[in-house]
Amino acid sequence: MSEPNSLNKLWAEGGSAVNAWLAINSPVSAEMMAKAGWDTVTIDTQHGMIDLGQAMTMIQTVSGAGAIPLVRVPWNDPAWIMKFLDSGALGIVCPMVNTAEQCAAFVSACRYAPDGNRSWGPVRIPFANPPEYKDWANRSVATLAMIETQEALDNLDDILSTPGLDALYVGPSDLAISLGSPPNPVPDVPKVLKAIDAILEGAKRNDVVPCIHCGSGEMAKEYLAKGWRLVTIQNDAGFLVAAAKAVL
Cβ proximity of 171 and 178 under 8 Å: no
Q: How far apart are CA 5 and CA 91, in angstroms?
A: 11
**Nearest C-alpha neighbor of 92 from the set 198, 216, 8:** 8
The distance from CA 125 to its chain's CA centroid, rounded to whole angstroms, is: 19
* Contact by Cβ (8 Å): 143, 168: no
Query: CA-to-CA distance for 134 and 123, rounded, in angstroms?
Result: 13
Catalytic residue annotation:
47
Helices (H), the chain: 7-12, 27-34, 52-64, 78-86, 100-110, 130-140, 150-154, 156-160, 172-178, 190-205, 217-226, 236-247
C-alpha span between 115 and 117 (Å, rounded): 7
